Amino acid sequence: MAKVLIVDDSKFNRAILSDALKEDYTILEAENGRDALGVIELCKNDLAAILLDVIMPELGVIELQKKKKKKKYMDSFPVLIVTGEQS
Protein backbone atom coordinates (compact mmCIF):
# COMPACT_ATOMS: atom_id res chain seq x y z
CA MET A 1 0.00 0.00 0.00
CA ALA A 2 1.30 3.49 -0.85
CA LYS A 3 2.43 5.70 2.02
CA VAL A 4 1.34 9.25 2.86
CA LEU A 5 3.29 11.38 5.32
CA ILE A 6 1.19 13.78 7.38
CA VAL A 7 3.24 16.59 8.94
CA ASP A 8 1.42 18.75 11.46
CA ASP A 9 2.25 19.93 14.97
CA SER A 10 -1.38 19.34 15.99
CA LYS A 11 -2.12 15.73 16.95
CA PHE A 12 -5.82 16.46 16.35
CA ASN A 13 -5.20 17.63 12.77
CA ARG A 14 -3.01 14.60 12.05
CA ALA A 15 -5.77 12.33 13.38
CA ILE A 16 -8.40 13.92 11.12
CA LEU A 17 -6.24 13.58 8.00
CA SER A 18 -5.16 10.08 8.96
CA ASP A 19 -8.73 8.96 9.46
CA ALA A 20 -9.72 10.31 6.05
CA LEU A 21 -6.88 8.52 4.24
CA LYS A 22 -6.22 5.33 6.22
CA GLU A 23 -8.32 3.04 4.03
CA ASP A 24 -6.30 3.85 0.91
CA TYR A 25 -2.81 4.58 2.29
CA THR A 26 -0.38 3.56 4.97
CA ILE A 27 -0.15 6.66 7.13
CA LEU A 28 3.13 8.02 8.46
CA GLU A 29 3.17 10.99 10.81
CA ALA A 30 5.60 13.68 11.93
CA GLU A 31 4.90 16.57 14.28
CA ASN A 32 7.51 18.96 12.87
CA GLY A 33 9.76 19.55 9.89
CA ARG A 34 12.84 17.96 11.45
CA ASP A 35 11.00 14.71 12.15
CA ALA A 36 9.51 14.84 8.65
CA LEU A 37 12.98 14.98 7.07
CA GLY A 38 13.91 11.80 8.91
CA VAL A 39 10.79 10.01 7.68
CA ILE A 40 11.36 11.27 4.15
CA GLU A 41 14.94 10.01 4.20
CA LEU A 42 13.80 6.54 5.26
CA CYS A 43 10.72 6.25 3.03
CA LYS A 44 11.37 8.52 0.05
CA ASN A 45 10.94 5.72 -2.47
CA ASP A 46 7.61 4.60 -0.99
CA LEU A 47 5.88 7.96 -0.45
CA ALA A 48 2.84 8.73 -2.57
CA ALA A 49 2.50 12.24 -1.12
CA ILE A 50 3.17 14.53 1.83
CA LEU A 51 0.48 16.60 3.53
CA LEU A 52 2.42 19.46 5.10
CA ASP A 53 1.09 21.99 7.59
CA VAL A 54 1.96 25.53 6.60
CA ILE A 55 2.83 26.62 10.17
CA MET A 56 5.23 24.32 12.05
CA PRO A 57 7.75 24.60 14.87
CA GLU A 58 11.48 23.80 14.55
CA LEU A 59 11.69 23.61 10.77
CA GLY A 60 9.09 25.56 8.83
CA VAL A 61 7.50 24.70 5.53
CA ILE A 62 9.84 26.91 3.45
CA GLU A 63 13.00 25.49 5.04
CA LEU A 64 11.71 21.93 4.70
CA GLN A 65 10.91 22.48 1.03
CA LYS A 66 14.39 23.92 0.40
CA LYS A 67 16.06 20.91 2.04
CA LYS A 68 13.90 18.49 0.06
CA LYS A 69 14.65 20.28 -3.17
CA LYS A 70 18.39 20.27 -2.44
CA LYS A 71 18.29 16.49 -1.94
CA LYS A 72 16.09 16.09 -5.06
CA TYR A 73 13.17 14.63 -3.11
CA MET A 74 10.83 17.08 -4.84
CA ASP A 75 10.84 14.99 -8.00
CA SER A 76 9.62 11.85 -6.25
CA PHE A 77 6.23 12.79 -4.76
CA PRO A 78 3.77 15.69 -4.54
CA VAL A 79 3.63 17.93 -1.49
CA LEU A 80 0.23 19.30 -0.51
CA ILE A 81 0.22 22.28 1.84
CA VAL A 82 -2.58 22.18 4.42
CA THR A 83 -3.59 24.38 7.32
CA GLY A 84 -6.12 24.48 10.11
CA GLU A 85 -5.75 28.25 10.40
CA GLN A 86 -8.95 30.20 10.08
CA SER A 87 -7.42 33.66 9.76
Residue, of 64 and 36, whose pLDDT is higher: 36
Helix, strand or coil, per DSSP, at residue 78: coil
Tell me the pLDDT tens digit for each residue of 38-79.
998 899 889 999 998 887 777 776 777 777 677 666 567 788
Instruction: Give the Cα separation of 56 and 35 in Å (integer).
Output: 11
pTM reported for the whole predicted model: 0.84
